[in-house]
């Protein structure tokens, strides 16, 4: 589907089902964000406004809902079923082709991180290499829980922005 990136009215004129189907992928397996945006945020004045409405919805969610959102993200480098967006994003960072040693290192860091924080390590991987991500995992694993909670939610917002940008430029 090609979006007219100059005309936000395209989104404003969609019915709820079409809107949620198209924008429900921005936040990992969380179409509720798009549904609430459609129900409460219209009319959108720009694509940036649509994104801002969605971010406000996530930021306004309960701690439990935010935790569920974080837990929907797959472990980086894991060989598990994940959304098409996550598959493409991880492939772009080379995480789909890890050597056995790298796979073990990522797996161990994922386990340690999740045990400490209660949710998987989340980072917007666009423009990052395997080594960049590995270093970030090691560094962020030393964070205090509150700082890492804030960082993880910030990364979720970055991922959503990247996905919206790709969608607007027909690079789903």
* Active site members: 73
How many CA atoms are closer than 13 Å to the CA of 136, on its beta-carbon side? 16
| Separation CA 54–CA 73 (nearest Å) | 17
Question: Residue 131: phi, psi to the nearest 5?
Answer: -65, -40
Of 54, 63, 3, the C-alpha closest to 159 is: 54
Query: Which of 77, 72, 82 shows the shortest CA–CA distance to 97?
Result: 77
Q: Is 153 helix (H, G, I), strand (E, B) or coil?
A: helix
| Residue position matching structure tokens 């949620």 | 20
Q: Note whether 2 and 169 are within 8 A (CB).
A: no
DSSP labels, 90-107: HHHTTTTS--HHHHHHHH
């Amino acid at each position: 589907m090609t979006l007219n990136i100059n005309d936000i009215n395209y989104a404003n004129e969609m019915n709820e089902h079409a809107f949620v189907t198209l924008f429900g992928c921005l936040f990992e397996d969380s179409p509720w964000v798009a549904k609430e945006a459609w129900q409460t945020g219209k009319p959108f004045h720009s694509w940036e406004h649509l994104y801002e409405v969605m971010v406000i919805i996530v930021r306004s969610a309960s701690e439990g809902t935010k935790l569920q959102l974080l837990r929907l993200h797959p472990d980086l480098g894991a060989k598990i079923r994940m959304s098409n967006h996550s598959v493409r994003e991880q492939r772009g960072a080379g995480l789909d082709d890890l050597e056995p040693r790298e796979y073990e290192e990522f797996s161990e860091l994922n386990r340690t991180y999740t045990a400490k924080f209660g949710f998987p390590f989340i980072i917007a991987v666009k423009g990052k290499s395997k080594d960049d991500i590995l270093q970030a995992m090691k560094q962020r694993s030393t964070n205090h829980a509150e700082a890492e909670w804030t960082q993880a939610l910030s990364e979720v917002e970055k991922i959503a922005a990247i996905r919206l940008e790709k969608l607007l430029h027909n690079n789903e």
